[in-house]
Chain A
């Protein structure tokens, strides 16, 4: 039982390849960290794992089956900015129901108060809203979670509260998890294993060079 990536190739349309022949696996019940500087393609990897983007080549399988092209996605992505992940005109009750009937117990574990259910996203703080996004991602059919800088926008106490609750649920349900973050101390706490995003670039020499990076510009200037 694992989320398996094999021979993954991807680059943005018209851009250089970001990953070449990248392979790794995330066992169910483990937490794997993905590190790298800003702009190195961490979030793109998250979107590929969740099925929001399609690889150019290679395969992603979930517990042996390929990522489904339609229907419920067993790999759920939690974004950095929760206000961009929900319908801002809905009340939180509907935002939750869009995914599934979230059990009261899960709401309690995540510290979601019942009076918040009648509010709209704009009437909650970012940390409060992020708890709803996590609750939504914890569908009974969810097998893996990808947390993309999930708590980067929050203060230390909010960050710790959210992780205490989520890691508890993840361990209990035996879910696998990918944590994308540029904060080494956080990954030290959470992860069983770490993957630097550079390792996914493929054979040496084929590494991506952004058209806009200073290095690429210098190279173009001297050519």
Chain B
């Protein structure tokens, strides 16, 4: 069996809020979450907005807001992921592919953005290689983000996130708002990363993307991981799905029953 790259145990994230005067209350974000992603595996994390899936990514990357309170343990390749360890590994071994292309710097040519963090001696060469890998023309390196189409910007985002040294990729909602061909391309790139041995954590609300690309699908609801299902169980009426919430999600798709919480579509 492949070695675990990321192990999350009993993770809790809460937010401290002022409830009038000096009284504080803690609003729970994530409660008691356990998961593991292994080398070469894509694990999808599915959930509604507000289910805590982006908090999970932020907790792993150590970029939660200041009022967040984290409990439990996050291990990367067997060792606790501390602040010092994050400094050494983020961007080199742990890569983050953000949701929106607006995460690119609008005032910097895209080639330069891909070269950030690369060894200056070989950066130019490496950036060309990454551009070739993602089907971007060499000349595009001199262009600014506004001069590229949405699909090309997605590829640039991948090029900024991918390094030879990457062992863990966290992709946060990489597909919404894209048409079918662009989605297929994003998924193909994720599959390539896993084939190269990286562990991929794909955070999404897009069920169909999740089940085409991942082997296992973790389903979150209300800050809890309610079930981990095999991707192959998301088929037909979803009778093979173990947890009722996973079934409900699957049946709510317009291509399935389009039912909402057990209420059938009748129009």
A: residues with CB less than 8 A from B are 37-39, 80, 125-127, 149, 152-161, 163-164, 167-168, 171, 182-183, 185-186, 188-190, 212-214
Contact = CB atoms under 8 A, between A and B. Distances in A.
A39 B149 contact: yes
Given A154-B49, A157-B260, A185-B253, 15 more contacts: A125-B50, A126-B50, A152-B177, A153-B176, A155-B46, A155-B49, A157-B48, A157-B248, A157-B252, A158-B49, A164-B263, A182-B179, A189-B258, A189-B265, A190-B267
B147 A38 contact: no
B2 interface: no
Contact of B49 (A37, A125, A149): A125
A161 B49 CA distance: 14
21 contacts: A38-B177, A38-B179, A125-B50, A127-B48, A127-B49, A154-B48, A155-B47, A155-B51, A156-B205, A156-B252, A157-B252, A157-B260, A157-B261, A159-B254, A161-B261, A163-B258, A182-B180, A188-B255, A189-B265, A190-B254, A212-B149
B217 to A, nearest CB: 13
Interface string B48-85: 11110000000000000000000000000000000000
Q: How large is the interface on B (under 10, 10 to 19, 20 to 34, 35 or more residues)?
A: 20 to 34
B46 to A, nearest CB: 8
A10 to B, nearest CB: 21
Nearest to B264: A164
B30 interface: no
Contact of A126 (B49, B180, B252): B49
B207 A149 contact: no
A171 B265 CA distance: 14
A153 B254 contact: no
B148 interface: yes
B7 interface: no
Contacts of B182: 38
Which of A38, A127, A156, A171 is the most central at the interface, judged by chain B CB atoms within 10 Å of its CB? A156
Interface string B227-267: 00000000000000000000011101111001111010101
Contacts of A213: 149
A-B interface, 7 closest residue pairs, ranked by CB to CB distance from nearest: A125-B50, A160-B260, A185-B255, A156-B252, A155-B48, A160-B252, A161-B260
B129 to A, nearest CB: 21
Contacts of A161: 260-261
A185 B49 contact: no
Contacts of A160: 252, 254, 258-260, 265
A153, A164, A167: which has the most chain B beta carbons within 10 Å? Answer: A164
A39 B149 CA distance: 9
Nearest to A153: B176
Contacts of B112: none
Contacts of A182: 179-180
B98 interface: no
A166 to B, nearest CB: 10
Contact of B177 (A149, A185, A190, A214): A149
